[in-house]
Amino acid sequence: MIWEILKDLGIFSVAAGVIAWLIRTISQKVLNKDLEKFKHELKQEQIKASKLYDKRLQVIEDVYNLLEDFDQKMRSLTSPMEMAGDLPKEKKLKIAGEAGEKFRDYYSKKRIYFNERISNLLDKINKEFISAWIDFTMYPPGKDILGGRDAKEKWEWWIKAWKKVTEEIPRIKEEIEREFRELLGVR
């Protein structure tokens, strides 16, 4: 009987409403707290990803600049055509060697920033440069060759190096550039 009177007065409904309100309020506070924590963690991950992306962009730029410098130095070294006022081949050999060392040293320390495809392309272009270097230095500049067979052989090795630098290496370099552009989002 008392239960029915309380029920008729709506006390049970009020109590159920209060309980529902308490549960909802507590749940919202817990969810809001979890949401704020998630937002903070997400922001930290975004900052970390942004810093990594910026670092990776810098490494790409640096590797490409060193590669381009090495390429230009090797073209100058192996070019059969010499212009008035050009440095002697002995000096160009030293300059190209230093540019190659800078490229290889930097790249070997930063290769972790590149996917396997780009690493393979950079390794491949490096091998081609080394091969061209070896071909060119079969008869080092300044080594006097009196003529005949040695002069012809020197010329053949020199042209072989020149062809690698002007024909084979540019094809690999184009692939590297395509991959770098894709990483940078440049189409």
- The model's pLDDT over 162-185, given as tens digits with 9 standing for 90+, comes to 999 999 999 999 999 999 999 888
CA angle 163, 103, 54 (to 5 degrees): 125
- Residue 100 lies in domain: 58-184
> Which tokens in the block code for residue 83?
């212009």
pTM: 0.75
* Contacts by 3-7, CB closer than 8 A, 24 or more apart: none
Residue 12 scores a pLDDT above 70: no
Look at residue 15 and tell me if it is in a domain: no
Look at residue 168 and tell me if it is in a domain: yes
Query: How many domains is the chain built from?
Result: 1
Look at residue 90 and tell me if it is in a domain: yes
